[in-house]
Amino acid sequence: MGEKKQKEIGKRRYGILIFGIILVDHIIKFLFISYFPQKVFVNTGISFSFLADTHSILTIVLHTCGVMVMVYLLKSSQPKIAFLLLLAGGLSNLIDRIVYGGVIDFIRIGSLPIFNFADSIINLGLVIFIIYIVKDWMSRLDET
């Protein structure tokens, strides 16, 4: 199989992963909105309701910039899965902002801020990226 064909298959898989995460997130949100509306919170801020009192255009601009950075980083040599997860979660939350005027949050665990499935995917991507950075840093230390 040629290199061009492999890249095409890889891009298709990336798209399927991103679409699948967004689809699952929105199915879960739909179910909560439909069957447990009292458990739903519309977060007009960014992560953990930070900047909740700012204008919604600011948060859309921040999300859009984040998505653009993720697309750029996907073209880099960094671990793709981490950025795919960050991109999928960010896009899903951006769709919420456009459709609902804020992100639909519904998961409450103890005293943690309320969050959603897309937020969990974003955090998983961050953990994978941090592990990659630490492993890379440690291998560079071993070289010296």
Active site residues: 105, 119
Q: Around 16, how many Cα atoms within 13 Å sit in the side-chain half-sphere? A: 6
Q: Report, in this order, helix, strand and coil percent for the chain, each rounded to 5.
A: 75, 5, 20
From residue 50, how far is each of 26, 73, 85 by CA, in Å? 22, 25, 21
How far apart are the C-alpha atoms of 128 and 2, rounded to whole Å?
29
User: How far, CA to CA in Å, does 141 sit from each of 7, 46, 69?
Assistant: 33, 36, 28
